[in-house]
Structure 1
Amino acid sequence: MQGDLNSRLTASEISVIWSSCVNNSFSICVLQYFLANVDDEDIKSVLECALDVSQKNLEMSEEILKKDDRRIPVGFTNEDVSPTAPRLYSDAFYLYYLKNMAKISLSVYGVALATAAQPGVRDFLSQAIQTSTQLYNNTANILLSKGLFVKPPYVSTSNEIDFIDKKSYLGGVLNLNNRPLNVIEITHIEANIEANTVGEILLAGLSQVAKSKKVREYCYRGSEIAKKHIQVFASLLTGDNLPAPMPWDLEVTDSTISPFSDKFIMFHTSMLIQSSISNYATASAASLRNDISTSYVRLTAESAQYAKDGINLMIKNEWMEQPPQIPNHKGLAKE
């Protein structure tokens, strides 16, 4: 009996495998559309690799759920994507998008592995981390070979070992006489500039193709929020005479024909916001300058409100699939 109990999926394992099904079905739709609208052979090759990874992850996730007699989520299907729709983004955008999504996958699967107990689930997550790492490296190598890789700024640092001995190191919240940025703060600022740039371009394209006016307006609002956040982060770098690296050649075409369903677009937006809020929380905790951590808190609040509005829109249109949940024991007791 004990062995049977140990073979069941835990709540954490159900969560990550269920989410893996949804997220990989989503990725398959995105990559099918990208592959139907790509010219560069090198970029096409890495997109094909990413599609293969997503298809295998989806199959393995479904197999794990079926083995535990759990329902398979609907996720996304061919009805949510139209690969024959005209091109919306440039080839270069595909690379930046893949790089960003690989980073998200590494983070999500890494956290999930630390909560998993069942060997089969741990094997799946370990393999997913390995393939995500490979995908990130392949994408990074192509970005480098084409001169598109956005590197953090080079800086001069002291070789002397030192310890913080004054509270003034933390600075104030009004940007008055703050110390220069340290390399940890620079790392997070640059990463958030790049992530927001990808989000800005993605949402700018989706805002002109979504079928619903409310979805178009929501995407446009998100693009403007991302643009504002980029300006905030860039000013932190330029305030210390550091360049603010920006991806380039991220073109959005003039197409108004949507390659995705509005349900798909809203899920895509929601996923980006979740990643952004997670990034800001990590960056805030790692930033020792009070004005920087305060900025992250303020921007997180704006992102959270934007996310809430999106969830309400998804619920209103019945686009949000409910994750597995435990029985309502109190409700059953009243029946």
Structure 2
Amino acid sequence: MDSTHNSMKMTAAEISYLWTTYQSDTMSICVLKYFLQHLDDSDIKALVNHALDLSYQHVEIIKELFVHERIAVPQGFTDQDVNLKAERLFSDILYLKYIKNMAGGGLSGYSRMLPNIYRKDIKSFYSKALTSSMELENKATLILLEKGLATRPPFIPYPDKVEFIQKQSFFLEGLGRRGALTGTEVTHLHFNIETNQLGAALSTGFSQTAQNKQARNYFIRGKEIALKHTKVFRDYLEKHSLPAPAGIEPEVTESTEPVFSDKLMMFHFSVMIYAGIGNYGIAISESQRSDLVIDYSRLNAEILKYSEDGINILVANEWLEQPPLSIDRQNLSKK
């Protein structure tokens, strides 16, 4: 990034985005550094190294921006939050799927941030981050395909003629009356199965290695929720004779040696939950069956309650850094 900083003051959006990105990337550095201690496949190792390098770049750029603007640099996550000497907890396959998911999250997050950014240097930073995430996701996808590990969404017939919807029941009567799912509905079901399966695998590993009892029970509960949601989505696909991706829990070893701090794992789950809520929201907006919308909505409500319980654990253990806030005018008036 150009060392000449923009003279415009940062907005609430810009400060908050940078603060959140710093937290996420310092966490990623810890996670990816551990992955590299237990990687056999050279292609996946190169991919993880590339992802790690991107996170290091982001952290340094944000730190420079904050120092220049006299904004307190967050603590984030450090070497104290990871035990690089711990035994292998996950397989190379999980590492690869993790990177693909991580890059996909970057694509979604950065594209959502960019329209709210006006400062030239920060817009340039996130534009480059978006491009880097796209390249990382493409590389991860290519490796998955080359190794025969890709779980592509199911196939549907090619439309051979133009047709128009004749009845409103296409949208409203979702309780088995429409005999087919739209391609978009199939895509969201498949995607949300995959993300929940990754969540179930990570929660398995985290629950095996967590030292705090509250955190351990939280991860066990998270696995139960992920498997429950997976079953709901899988039933839709199977009911329409469509395949669903297989789980990846076998990619978790039996190790119980602590790897990451409970603080890092709880924060990691909060990031995953945040992404899951967004994924379900998009699925709701793009689904045209009432039963699907109802199921996504009730499952989202369950995730929101689970998220609240996680925040309470983070706060109770003083693991949650306070994000940038607006001025509390009411409190100032009292003073």
Give the TM-score category using the shorter length: over 0.9
8 Å contact kept, 2:238–2:244 = yes
2:82 is aligned with 1:68: no
Q: Are 2:268 and 1:268 aligned?
A: yes
Rounded to whole Å, the distance in 2 between the matches of 1:102 and 1:31 is 13
Task: Tell me what 1:54 maps to.
Answer: 55
| Cα deviation, residue 171, structure 1 | 4.0
Provide the rounded CA distance (Å) in 2 between the counterparts of 1:334 and 1:311.
Answer: 29
**What are the equivalent positions in structure 2 for 1:229-244 lying under 5 Å apart?**
229-244=229-244
Superposition pairs of residues 1-335 of structure 1, within 5 angstroms: 7-172=8-173, 175-246=175-246, 248=248, 250-335=250-335
- Residue-by-residue CA offset, 1:90-120 (whole Å, 9 max, x unaligned): 1000011111111111111111111100000
- Equivalent position SS for 1:121: helix
Q: Alpha-carbon deviations, 1:163-213, whole Å to 9, x = none?
A: 32311102435x332331010101111110111110000001101110011
8 A Cα contact 2:6 2:121, kept in partner: no
Tell me, in whole angstroms, the C-alpha distance in 2 between the residues paired with 1:157 and 1:230.
27
Query: Which segment drifts farther, 300-309 or 241-250?
Result: 241-250
Q: CA deviation at 1:317?
A: 0.6
**Distance in 1 (alpha carbons) for counterparts of 2:220 and 2:239:** 29
State the one-letter code of the partner of 2:233.
F
**How far is the alpha carbon of 1:6 from its aligned partner?**
6.2
Q: What SS class does the counterpart of residue 56 from structure 2 fall into?
A: helix
Q: Secondary structure in 2 aligned to 1:322?
A: coil
CA–CA separation in structure 2 for the residues paired with 1:99 and 1:247: 16
8 A contact 1:148–1:247 mirrored in 2: no
Give, in whole Å, the separation in 2 of the partners of 1:247 and 1:96.
Answer: 12
Q: Give the structure-2-normalised TM-score.
A: 0.96
Q: How much is the aligned-residue C-alpha RMSD, in angstroms?
A: 1.5
Deviation at 1:252, TM superposition (A): 1.0
**Are the aligned partners of 2:6 and 2:119 in contact in 1 as well (CA < 8 Å)?**
no
Deviation at 1:42, TM superposition (A): 1.0
Q: Is the 8 A contact 1:237 1:243 kept in 2?
A: yes
Separation in structure 1 between the aligned mates of residue 250 and residue 188 of structure 2, nearest angstrom: 22
**Residues 249, 227 of structure 1: CA spacing in aligned structure 2 closer, same or farther, 3 A cutoff?**
closer
CA contact (8 A) 1:76 1:264 kept: yes
The superposition leaves residues 135-178 of structure 1 with CA deviations (integer Å, 9 ceiling, x where unpaired) of 111111111111001101111132222232311102435x3323
Percent identity over paired residues: 41
C-alpha offsets along residues 36-79 of structure 1, whole Å, 9 cap, x if unaligned? 11111111110000000000011111112222221111100010
Amino acid at match of 2:185: E
Structure 1 segments, 4+ long, off by >6 Å, are: none
Letter in 1 for 2:289: R
Whole-angstrom distance in 2 between the partners of 1:294 and 1:68: 46
Query: Are the counterparts in 1 of residues 209 and 256 from structure 2 also a CA contact under 8 Å?
Result: yes
Cα 1:162/1:208, change in 2 over 3 Å: same
Residue type at the aligned position of 1:12 = A
2: CA distance between counterparts of 1:163 and 1:62?
54
Distance 1:238 1:171 in 2: 21
Name the SS for the 1:56 alignment partner: helix
Quick check: 1:204–1:220 contact (8 Å CA) kept in 2?
A: yes
8 Å CA contact 1:88–1:254 kept in 2: the answer is yes
In structure 2, the gaps of 5 or more residues are none
Long gaps (5+) in structure 1? none
The one-letter code sitting in structure 2 at the alignment partner of 1:170 is F
Letter in 1 for 2:164: F
Contact 2:32 2:52 in 1 (8 A): yes
2:93, 2:159 → 1: CA distance? Answer: 37
Q: For residue 108 of structure 2, what is the amino acid of its counterpart?
A: S
* Whole-angstrom CA distance in 1 between matches of 2:279 and 2:305: 16
Q: What is the deviation of 1:124?
A: 0.0
